[in-house]
Structure 1
Amino acid sequence: MLDYDALRCFHEVLRYGGFEKGAQALNLTQSAVSQKIKRLEQSVGGPVMVRTKPLRATPLGKELLAHIQKVSVLEEALNIQSGLEASAAPISVAVNNDVLATWFSQVMAAFSDKRANPIHIVNADQTQTRDILQQGRVMACISQTGTPVTGGQSIRLGTMRYQLYASPRFIERYLHKEISPQSVMSTPGLLYDEYDVTLLTDYQRECLNIAPSFTTCHWYPSSHGFVKMALDGVVWALLPTLQVKQEVNEGDLVPLFPHKELGVPLFWHWTTLESAALADLTKAVKNIAKAQLK
């Protein structure tokens, strides 16, 4: 039989990124937490984490993490049904940067009006979030892939729209008001990280009808900084139209190709659990997405 106290220790150590912080969260000594995890590894017949910086779960550890997350949610539901006092179990969700930078805070606000459950967000590209859900690291995610994972459900939320933007200063400096796909791609651009290449590739192929090119792009992994780099005239950037409405209205950013817009479908995936909290989070996601992703 699994040692659930040890499992919770393992979960908190990984969640907080170290034994010391995990022990503090559990109100235990670091030594006690370490011993519990060692006993857990002995009982399951293998290591549950790779003790590097940062700590990483082994494949076995990932299975155990998925299990303890589901158990926590189910325990909360059972306690509520039986009339016992229950602590609000955290709900882990994988969400991409652009959604976090635009409308997911509204989801958090709507959910918090009904529930006290903490939301633990794993930040990942929309091409990667479904895999994180499939691995059992989270209970729900926003993905650009619609096919549900095994034991889960999905629903289409709408379309996130992107355009290529630059500041008037950038246009004057680099483009001399002569804007074409070829001239723009020869000037400094911006990528968030290696996964952002896919989005820019799709835009270049589908909207500009040119071969992908990234040789002039800076890498800048910050959602706020991404917009700031464009505003400061350093680069052009492919940005969600939702994120820069005010900057465009005030003339601080200009769409370089106003009629060339890339649409990325977004889907909400969630594991099939008897959890009222997860159901309320799903409802909040649907309602906010319906209002934002028109």
Structure 2
Amino acid sequence: MLDYDALRCLSEVLRYGGFERGAQALSLTQSAVSQKIKRLEHRVGGPVLVRTKPLNPTPLGRELLTHFQKVSVLEEALNIQSGLQASASPISVAVNNDVLATWFSQVLAEFSQTRSNPIHVYNADQTQTRDKLQKGQVMACISQTGTPITGGQSVRLGVMNYQLYASPIFIERYLKEKQTPQSIMNSPGLLYDEYDVTLLGDYQRECFNLPPFFANCHWYPSSHGFVKMAIDGVAWALLPSLQVINEVKNGELVSLFPDKCLGVPLFWHWTSLDSGALTDLTLAVKRVAKAQLQ
């Protein structure tokens, strides 16, 4: 039989990225947590952690982590049905930057009205979130891929629209009368990180019929800072229209090509568990997305 105390230690050590912080979360000593995980590795016949910074699970560790997450959720549901007092198990989800910066806080606000489960949000690009779910690192995610994972379900949420924006200062400095796709791509732009290359490349191909080009882009991995950089006239930026409604109204940002819009489909994925909390979170995601997305 598996040692579930040791599995809880494994879960918290991975959640907090190290033995010291994981032990603090468990109110145990670092030595006690280390010993429990060593005994777990002996029992299952192999390592469960790659001891890097931050720590990562081995393939065996990922399977055990997925199993423990499912058991925790099922145990919570069983305790509630039995009338026993149960602690609310955390629900881990992977969400991309643009959704976090626009409407996901509304999901948590709605969910928290009826549930006390902590939501642990992991930030990842929409092309990478489904992989985290597949590996058992999270229980649900928002992805641009619709195919559900094995043992999971998915639902289409809608489309998130992106346009190119720049400030009047930037337009005056770099573009003036030459607001063509080529002149804009040859002026300073913004990328969030290496994964953002895919999104911008899709926009360039679909909206301008141009090959991907990123040579003049700054890298700035902050959703709030991304908008601020554009407002300050540092660069143009490909932004979700939802994120800059007020900035456009105030004249701080201008849509460079209002008729050129990239629509990115978004899907909610979740593991198939008999969990009232996960079901309620899914309902909250659907309701808020329906109001916010096309």
State the TM-score, normalized to the length of structure 1. 0.99
1:52, CA displacement in angstroms? Answer: 1.6
Amino acid at match of 1:14: L
How many Å separate the matches in 2 of 1:87 and 1:121?
Answer: 19
How many Å separate the matches in 2 of 1:199 and 1:21?
Answer: 35
Q: Does 1:61 align with 2:57?
A: no
1:190, CA displacement in angstroms? Answer: 0.6
How many Å separate the matches in 2 of 1:46 and 1:222?
Answer: 39
Q: Does 1:276 align with 2:276?
A: yes
Q: Does 1:95 align with 2:95?
A: yes
Give the corresponding residue for 2:260.
260
Give the corresponding residue for 1:38.
38
Q: Which whole-Å deviations, capped at 9, do the CAs of 1:207-260 have from their partners, x for residues lacking one?
A: 111111000011111111111110110000000000000000000000111100
Give the corresponding residue for 1:79.
79
Structure 2 residue matching 1:274: 3-state secondary structure: coil
How many Å separate the matches in 2 of 1:189 and 1:225?
Answer: 14
1:177, CA displacement in angstroms? Answer: 3.2
Structure 2 residue matching 1:243: 3-state secondary structure: helix
Amino acid at match of 1:28: L
**Stretch deviating more after TM superposition (44-53 or 86-95):** 44-53
Structure 1 residue matching 2:285: 3-state secondary structure: helix
Amino acid at match of 1:48: V
Give the corresponding residue for 2:149.
149
Give the corresponding residue for 2:223.
223
Give the corresponding residue for 1:164.
164
Amino acid at match of 1:61: G
How many Å separate the matches in 1 of 2:153 and 2:51?
Answer: 34
Give the corresponding residue for 2:126.
126
Q: Does 1:190 align with 2:151?
A: no
How many Å separate the matches in 1 of 2:109 and 2:99?
Answer: 14
Structure 2 residue matching 1:234: 3-state secondary structure: coil
Structure 2 residue matching 1:213: 3-state secondary structure: coil
Give the corresponding residue for 2:288.
288
How many Å separate the matches in 1 of 2:10 and 2:268?
Answer: 28
Q: Which whole-Å deviations, capped at 9, do the CAs of 1:6-32 have from their partners, x for residues lacking one?
A: 000011111111111111111111111
Amino acid at match of 1:123: N
1:166, CA displacement in angstroms? Answer: 0.4
Counting matched residue pairs gives: 294
Q: Which whole-Å deviations, capped at 9, do the CAs of 1:117-145 have from their partners, x for residues lacking one?
A: 00011111111111111111111110101
1:195, CA displacement in angstroms? Answer: 0.7
Q: Which whole-Å deviations, capped at 9, do the CAs of 1:254-274 have from their partners, x for residues lacking one?
A: 011110000000000111100
Give the corresponding residue for 2:214.
214
How many Å separate the matches in 1 of 2:175 and 2:261?
Answer: 20
1:60, CA displacement in angstroms? Answer: 1.1
How many Å separate the matches in 2 of 1:140 and 1:52?
Answer: 25
Give the corresponding residue for 1:51.
51
Q: Structure 1: give runs of 5+ residues left out of the alignment.
A: none
Q: What is the CA RMSD across the aligned residues, in angstroms?
A: 0.7
How many Å separate the matches in 2 of 1:165 and 1:154?
Answer: 32
Amino acid at match of 1:82: S
How many Å separate the matches in 1 of 2:265 and 2:89?
Answer: 30
1:106-125 map, 5 Å: 106-125=106-125
How many Å separate the matches in 1 of 2:32 and 2:169?
Answer: 59
Amino acid at match of 1:191: L
Q: Does 1:241 align with 2:236?
A: no
1:21-36 map, 5 Å: 21-36=21-36
**Stretch deviating more after TM superposition (239-248 or 11-20):** 11-20
Q: Structure 2: give runs of 5+ residues left out of the alignment.
A: none
How many Å separate the matches in 1 of 2:21 and 2:194?
Answer: 30
State the TM-score, normalized to the length of structure 2. 0.99
Amino acid at match of 1:114: T
How many Å separate the matches in 1 of 2:38 and 2:113?
Answer: 40
The 4+ residue runs of structure 1 with deviation greater than 3 A are none
How many Å separate the matches in 1 of 2:245 and 2:177?
Answer: 22
How many Å separate the matches in 2 of 1:241 and 1:167?
Answer: 15
